[in-house]
Amino acid sequence: MEEHALSFWISMGVMSALVGGAMRKMLATPMSAAPTLAAWLGVAVLVERLCSLGLPAMLALVTLTAVCCLIPGRTPPAPPLPTEGRAVFITGCDSGFGKITAQRLDAMGFEVFASVLDLSGAGARELQRVCSQRLMLIQMDITQSQEIEQALDRIKAKVGLQGLWGLVNNAGVCVNFGDAELSLMSNYRGCMEVNFFGTLNVTKAFLPLVRQAKGRIVTISSPSGEQPFPCLAAYGASKAALNLFINTLRHELEPWGVKVSTILPSAFKTGQSSNIEYWEHQYKHLLQNLSPGLLEEYGEEYVLETKELFQAYAKTTSEDLSPVINTIVDALISPHPKIRYYAGPGVGLMYFICSFFPACVSDRFLQRLFVKKKVLPRALRKQKGSSDDNHNNIDKVDKST
């Protein structure tokens, strides 16, 4: 009995150590830890089976020792790469991630080239005021090929033979809200023009300079490019195209020594997200351009609720942009940058659920996480009302008979 009890407690100790270590690894890196997690749990089951067979306690101890030897220990992180003399080009620095990233990289000693839409705007003036003389502001619209070429010529003249260490593709836009059927074609084209074709054009133009430096390409994408967020079809489709392009580029640039990273942020207060006038304009523009048939089937009250849900959701987003900025910095200075970064609260958990749980669970999670619609389209409400009336009439007939 005593030998059985000892074997049991050794088994429990081994199981606890393995499962606890696996859970810590999973919580720290939700996606990349999946193979390690599966391996650890497999070893835990194997050890439990061995101990249940009544093998001597010594065998259990030997197994535990072997497992500990097989599991790699925590190695100290490699020192970051130097920043002095290295140039980085960041798009979309008028506000949000781009502006704060430009400030951070300038303070770290990088030579920063920051593109803005408006050289006289508040964001550009702030960068001029707080940053060093190294930072250069460049007026550039990523949808205009001529402006991209002009920016390229200016940067090429400055960096010379050293090339461009980092290209940070940050500029992007979300010009739609509403169901996929309700979103205007101009919204789909607008998102694709900026988020995909604009970023594609910039990346292709600056790639020779990045290859010359064996540098880094860091792209700010979105989880909506991989997960079916309700009411974000136009934006999500443009980010999905961008994700595939960047992933393909990552494989193709490996022989050149260029590292490619994608950052997937959660929701933050950036751009127009907290601008009430912006949402009002989008709402009125949608109503004015919807076909009468669609507006009748969905109803103005359905579109109004969508607008209000977007406004309410924007108020709950975080103003602290540091999780995203920190990942951009790591992708630029880490000797071994990650392929994908999950930046911000909840995004790692969301990817874990959407990757490993059934679709019915992950779909419900996304619906509850984002816009929680309660108003049915007008046509469905009429159908439901007719159905309820028919049931009531049938009940009355049954009672009368």
Strand 166-169 to strand 87-90: parallel, antiparallel, or no bridges (unpaired)?
A: parallel
The CA distance from 123 to 94, in Å, is 5
Read off the tokens for 209. 């300079």
Active-site positions?
Answer: 235
Between 267 and 337, the more confident residue is 337
User: How large a percentage of the chain has pLDDT more than 90?
Assistant: 52
Q: What are the structural domain ranges in the chain?
A: 2-70, 87-369
- 335 has a pLDDT exceeding 50: yes
pLDDT at residue 15 in the model: 56
| Confidence grade of residue 64 (pLDDT, cut at 50, 70, 90) | low
Element (DSSP H or E) covering residue 145: helix 145-159
The CA distance from 1 to 9, in Å, is 12
- 20 has a pLDDT exceeding 80: no
Residues in the chain, overall count: 401
CATH code at 87-369: 3.40.50.720
Whole-model pTM?
0.78
Between 99 and 42, the more confident residue is 99
The helix/strand/coil state of 137 is strand
pLDDT at residue 389 in the model: 57
CB 265 within 8 A of CB 331: no
pLDDT at residue 92 in the model: 95
pLDDT tens digit sequence for 257-271: 999 999 999 888 777
pLDDT at residue 191 in the model: 94
- 137 has a pLDDT exceeding 70: yes
CB 329 within 8 A of CB 341: no
